[in-house]
Amino acid sequence: MGRYIQVEENVKIYVEDLGEGTPVIFLHGWPANHKMFEYQFSRLPANGYRCIGIDFRGFGKSDAPWESYSYDRLADDVRTVIDELGVTDATLFGFSMGGAVAIRYMARHNGHGVKSLVLAGAAAPVFTKRDDFDYGMDPEEFTEQMIVAAFEDRPKMLTKLGLQFTKTKTKAGMMIWLQSLCLQASHHGTVKAALSLREEDLRSDLSKIKVPTVIFHGAKDKICEPNLAKLTSEAIAGSRIVMFEQSGHAMMFDEQAKFNEELLLFLNTEDLLRRSEDIDHVNAVSK
């Protein structure tokens, strides 16, 4: 079921809410929308999970204000959705830029309503190189290939991005479908969110994450290099990495069966642990 949630006076965010059970909140990558997770939305509800997909402002069916595409603002939108839906004990799932926003949410809002975290191909700790950070994309290269190219010919830019996005290059239909999702984004939202990708720094956020965390990453990722996953994991206490050896950036398409299996394994394990803790708490109170 889809609905709109007011996050600012003149801004509404589109949210898809499907299934019943433990909630899993999905944050999409740049410049797609929640529909990129349709192969999870078609499976998780059958396994007792409620799928909540958020279209970031400027993307998918959400409103596209001219300003306000910082990670802080996007994280605040997520907080409003969680509060409006009354969600508790959720797993927050963030892919690529969505992973970056998920990290900022956990730090900025102290993990409100979230009991576990999945980061998939996350654009973290920093997406572009800095004087003190020698990983990620070169900022000038990113500006030329993504931002300048979006102003000149957005469909062409998305086609080139798609060739790096997934290893399923022979699946022409899949590539066309993914590009169609990206073209649903507003032009200015695409550009301004890209500026956030280039400029934002999450290094100080990572140590504030205190929930069980798993990091999914493609070994052949050309957009967010695997070293970024290692650095992110080192900074999040107790986190672990699941590497997808045959995947590029989008492991949910390149190794779909393994991806869904690993996601369900993590979700089921966290549910069992939470139930065990609840039983222990009840037993302790009753003594």
Q: Just list the catalytic residues.
A: 96, 221, 249
- DSSP code, position 61: T
Contacts of 129 (CB under 8 A, 6+ apart): 135, 136, 137, 138, 139
Query: Which amino acid is located at 233 in the chain?
Result: S
Tokens of 175: 């590539």
Q: Which two tokens stand for residue 140?
A: 């000038």
DSSP secondary structure letter of residue 223: S
Token reading at 249: 């950036």
Distances (CA, A) of 32 to 54, 112, 180, 278: 11, 25, 9, 38
Q: Which of 245, 240, 286, 284 lies closest to 265, judged by CA?
A: 240
